[in-house]
């Protein structure tokens, strides 16, 4: 059957009318094709409005999941008693600390006589800063989806009581440094004190286990009901039974209940973990690690920092017998420069240093998602082995 040939328009009005007619024909064909397409791929009850509603709900879940992730990077003040001063990172002046204030990397708290402050985290971990204490939040890190948490604090004087939640995570670690020792914990309750006049740090474990290390010698494992003491530059004392009088104030301050994550939070964090790659590429949320080369760049930055530390070590007349892992002050490095060197390491510090007269070994982890271990010796930087991991033990 021959199709009727359209007459060629002669005027502008005829051309416009023909164009409108062709548009109507195209729309009519689409109206017939699209329903057929939807019927083949989707159920009859599922129209575009349902799809848009599901998509909108999905976006809301992702946005709320990112919000929950961002909360993991701060410590919230839940209780403040007496005179407590807050000093934000990079500032010299202090302000009165108020409940609901949020502390981030580099922020410091100072409590006066008969004063204390309690910090809480979304997983239920809590830290109570006792009277006459100075406490610094050094570094808070969190891996998307809750695969691990890493928290680093520093007690410059006084005492803290801490309860690390059982929901903290198996692959997570929390460390509290003093100028004389470091306590490395996962799920446990402990009290840590530091006396600047005697340069002595004391640890009491109430529940779980705490790995306690000084700047020299080997770490000790402190079990429930035990205590250990270490002085600057020495090895921790063998764990012994703690005095009951020392445990009483700790029990009153640190017994804060754990918080189980609600079901909705688990669902949302699972979704953000699945979408880690696109969210990271788009730079959405504080868990994003940047585009493409971020993992490689973080490992490369750690290796370069170790090379610079190596230069300082080689420039000394002899290797020091011990080094403070979060200040490097025994190497004679200016404080501001040392902070920059340490900022590329997991926890903002090296893992461990040991000097042996004419030799040394230093361990540090990069801030990549795997927290890759590196070893520095007089021969240079190399990647840590499984044997090194077992040797460190935490």
Q: What is the pLDDT of residues 290-318, one digit of tens each?
A: 544 578 888 999 999 999 999 999 887 78
Q: Quick one: 114 and 227 in the same domain?
A: yes
Residue bearing the bigger pLDDT, 252 or 151: 151
Residues 89 and 179 in one domain: yes
> pLDDT band at 160, cuts 50/70/90?
very high
Residues 234 and 300 in one domain: no
On whether both 250 and 357 belong to a single domain, the answer is no
Domain termination residue (choose one: 239, 254, 269): 254
Of the pLDDT bands very low, low, confident and very high (cuts 50, 70, 90), residue 153 is very high
Mean pLDDT of 258-275: 82
For position 292, what pLDDT does the model report?
Answer: 47
By residue range, what is the domain housing residue 223? Answer: 72-254
- How do residues 235-249 score in pLDDT, each as one tens digit? 999 999 988 776 655
Q: Which of 207, 232, 254 is the last residue of a domain?
A: 254
State whether 222 and 85 are in the same domain. Answer: yes
Q: Please report whether residue 14 resides in a domain.
A: no
177 lies in a domain? Answer: yes
- Which pTM does this prediction carry? 0.82
Residues 308, 240 share a domain: no
In a domain, 87, yes or no: yes
In a domain, 236, yes or no: yes
Residue 22 has pLDDT above 90, yes or no: no
Whether residue 31 is contained in a domain is answered as no
Q: 163: which residues sit within 8 A by CB, 6+ positions away?
A: 125, 126, 188, 189, 254, 255, 256, 258
Same domain, residue pair 170 and 117? yes
Asked if residue 236 and residue 347 are part of one domain, the reply reads no
Instruction: State the Cα–Cα distance between residues 68 and 74, nearest whole angstrom.
Output: 11
Which of 206, 227, 254 is the last residue before a domain boundary?
Answer: 254
37 belongs to a structural domain = no
42 vs 93, which has greater pLDDT? 93
Would the pLDDT of 1 be above 50?
Answer: no
Q: What percent of the chain has pLDDT over 70?
A: 83
More reliable by pLDDT, 168 or 362: 362
Say how many C-beta atoms besides its own lie within 10 A of residue 125's C-beta. Answer: 25
Domain membership flag for residue 178? yes
pLDDT 10s digits, 183-220? 998 778 899 999 999 999 999 998 889 999 999 988 99
Asked whether the predicted pLDDT for residue 32 surpasses 80, the reply is no
Is residue 265 situated within a structural domain? no
The pLDDT value given to residue 254: 46
Domain shared by 228 and 341, yes or no: no
299 & 372 share domain: yes
The answer on 313 and 247 residing in a single domain is no
Number of domain units in the chain? 2
CATH number assigned to the domain comprising residue 193: 2.60.120.1440
Task: Please list, in sequence order, all residues whose beta carbon lies within 8 angstroms of the beta carbon of residue 22, skipping any fewer than 6 positions away.
Answer: none
85 plus 165 within the same structural domain: yes
Q: What is the mean pLDDT of residues 344-360?
A: 91
């Amino acid at each position: 059957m021959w199709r009727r040939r359209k007459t060629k328009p002669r005027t502008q009005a005829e051309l416009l009318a023909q164009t409108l007619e062709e548009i109507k024909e195209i729309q009519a064909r689409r109206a017939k094709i699209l329903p057929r397409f939807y019927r083949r791929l989707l159920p009859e009850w599922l129209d575009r409005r349902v799809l848009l509603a599901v998509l909108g709900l999905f976006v809301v879940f992702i946005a709320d999941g990112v919000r929950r992730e961002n909360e993991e990077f701060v410590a919230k003040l839940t209780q403040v008693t007496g005179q407590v001063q807050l000093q934000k990172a990079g500032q010299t002046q202090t302000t009165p600390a108020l409940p609901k204030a949020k502390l981030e990397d580099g922020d410091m708290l100072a409590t006066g006589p008969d004063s204390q402050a309690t910090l809480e985290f979304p997983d239920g971990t809590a830290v109570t800063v006792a009277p006459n204490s100075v406490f610094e939040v050094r570094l808070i890190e969190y891996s998307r989806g809750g695969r691990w948490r890493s928290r680093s604090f520093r007690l410059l004087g006084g005492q803290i009581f801490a309860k690390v939640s059982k929901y903290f995570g198996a692959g997570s670690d929390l460390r509290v440094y003093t100028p004389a020792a470091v306590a490395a914990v996962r799920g446990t309750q402990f009290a840590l004190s530091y006396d600047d006049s005697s340069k002595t740090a004391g640890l009491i474990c109430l529940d779980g286990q705490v790995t306690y290390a000084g700047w020299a010698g080997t770490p000790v494992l402190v079990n429930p009901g035990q205590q250990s003491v270490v002085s600057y530059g020495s090895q921790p004392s063998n764990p012994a039974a703690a005095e009951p009088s020392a445990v009483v104030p700790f029990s009153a301050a640190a017994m804060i209940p754990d918080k189980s994550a609600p079901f909705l939070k688990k669902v949302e964090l699972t979704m953000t973990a699945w979408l880690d790659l696109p969210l990271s590429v788009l730079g959405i949320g504080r868990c994003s690690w940047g585009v493409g080369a971020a993992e490689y760049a973080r490992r490369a930055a750690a290796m370069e920092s170790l090379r610079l530390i190596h230069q300082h070590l080689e420039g000394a007349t002899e290797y020091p017998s011990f080094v403070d892992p979060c200040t490097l002050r025994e190497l004679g490095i200016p404080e501001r420069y040392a902070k920059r060197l340490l900022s590329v390491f997991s926890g903002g510090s090296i893992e461990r240093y040991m000097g042996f007269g004419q030799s040394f070994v230093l361990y540090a982890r990069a801030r990549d998602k795997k927290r890759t271990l590196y070893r520095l010796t007089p021969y240079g930087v190399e990647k840590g082995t499984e044997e090194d991991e077992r040797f460190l033990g935490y």
